[in-house]
Amino acid sequence: MNRKHIISVVSLTALVLLAACAPAATANPVNNTASTVEPTAASSTDVVSPTAVNSTDTQAIAGLACGAGSSSVTATPALTEGPYYKAGSPEQANLYQEGMAGTKIVITGYVYDTNCQPVANAWLDFWQADANGNYDNSGYTLRGHQFTDANGRYQLITVVPGLYPGRTEHIHFKVQAPNGQAITSQLFFPGVVQNDSDGIYNADLLLSIQEAADGLQGYYNFVVPAS
């Protein structure tokens, strides 16, 4: 290994350490939950490419709006609803069903307003393709709405959606504060090659993801306009 290689390895190690430490360094309550995930999460970061490390670092900041002492932030960006929304989804935070194909993921976070105040009883409606890229357009599989608790927190249990033609992996959502205006948009997954070729993709909507004991743990904080 020559000197150039050694410098590269040192740089990469520093990047990995930075990326691994960044979320834990914030005071956001979401990260308190992060400490409960398996320690394998850190080693999984070790094997990602330098490009992925950089995007992980960026998305950790985007996905954890109002962390690290922020006092005001911009609202979650809106994106197209797409053709598969169905109104009237059941109230259910757990969209995962036993035996369902794909990787299970638990996504948690908060709904804040643009002053970084948590929003209790905010409405969240999620819908997504299954692991094979298909939507349930006759029923409500992988569709459900929920409301944030008194602390503004939500939790979604689901599977990582599959790809379908022209689109990268994404979970559609609507979020609305009580008596507020709904924001319709989509969440994305870090490290997916198709992110770069998807015209709808927006890095501000990347989940922060860690490996968990039985799948993945994702984090995202939504931000709605202050009333």
Q: Which span (20-28, 77-85, 113-121, 194-202) binds Fe ion, by CB under 5 A?
A: 77-85
Q: Which span (74-82, 86-94, 152-160, 176-184) binds Fe ion, by CB under 5 A?
A: 74-82
Q: 43: which residues sit within 8 A by CB, 6+ positions away? A: none
Say whether 161 sits in a helix, a strand or coil: coil
225 belongs to the binding site for Fe ion (CB under 5 A): no
Residue 181 Cβ vs Fe ion, minimum distance, rounded to whole Å: 22
Q: 72: which residues sit within 8 A by CB, 6+ positions away? A: 114, 115, 116
Buried/exposed 70-107: b ≥16 CB within 10 Å, e otherwise = beebebbeebeeeeeeeeebeeebebbeeeeebeebbb
162 belongs to the binding site for Fe ion (CB under 5 A): no
Residue 46 Cβ vs Fe ion, minimum distance, rounded to whole Å: 32
Select from 77, 82, 180, 215 the one that contacts Fe ion (CB under 5 A). Answer: 82
Q: Which residue is nearest to Fe ion (CB)?
A: 82
Residue 214 Cβ vs Fe ion, minimum distance, rounded to whole Å: 25
180 belongs to the binding site for Fe ion (CB under 5 A): no
Contact in structure between 212 and 37 (CB atoms under 8 Å)? yes
Q: Would you tell me which residues interact with Fe ion (CB under 5 A)?
A: 82
